[in-house]
Chains A and B, each alone.
Chain A
């Protein structure tokens, strides 16, 4: 049984990492990162089967691809705290000569990263290719991917969504971070997308909602269901209902903190809401 207390403590620490990283360089994307902290912790600590160390091909383990690369702070924090690289390296986020680029990349050789992302809409295609390589290699491990909801406005996603079901890529679980926010406002204000469930189902996917996308137990339960639906001839989509900026009250329920760093006062306030659990980097 997963230890929810430990996962919760880790999530709190990840939140601290996110706002400290972004504050230090006065740039980066805290809102979406905070909204997905529980998901990343659950994925890397409980859900994915991972080998020790890192090799690019990842044969014999589950793989994860982040398509909305701007939420790199949560990705870096969870990768570091899952053992891929030293936690102290979080200090170098967005600095010159760092492996922790503004958006994730393989280019600087950071362990844990298998593709560059940042220019939106490309990650699902890459995840599909990796999933099909697993099938060719008779590797029955899964491929996970994460996408922003606003990101689905990019057309390449729909090429990939159409392909995935047509080609029965059923070893893929694509999660949509349904926080209903994007840079210029709510997704309904910018470009309403209607029912994503109806759209994915119409494209031949199995769709599953996790209504409490910031609740670790709900995530674990929902993703367990998602896993049980793989291998049945259809790709699986998880609609993860999250709150952007979750865990820092003044950043919650708004697009305002999509790509804005907290000032000194705001950092102090955010940290006081998330007391240190595992030790700051």
Chain B
């Protein structure tokens, strides 16, 4: 049941990305291009998403437990550490180069465009590289496994 709910949530999320125009790199780059013809779309998408998810999260906080699982896995970390900063810079570099982030990239797979498939393969490879890189540092393995359960942000 939880997997079915998760599927439906993925479907609604993807639907939102398509309808909002956020699967189109040109619209994302238009928002990021503050020195050109600025496209405010992404700001409106984020504002609407934040209002609805903020209200939904407030409801979720009132729940004793989620409808289909044992507990809410709210992220627990609060520190702004070096990994967060460096990772966000690297992510921003890639996002600015292509105008695609993970959600829109996955939604665009449905169109079977070779360039999108290459991007998703490279993105997946980047994620695997991050896991392999963690595994080289003994202390990071523990951090990595703990973060799988509750402390990841997203």
- A and B: real partners? no
Which residues of B does A touch, CB under 8 Å? none
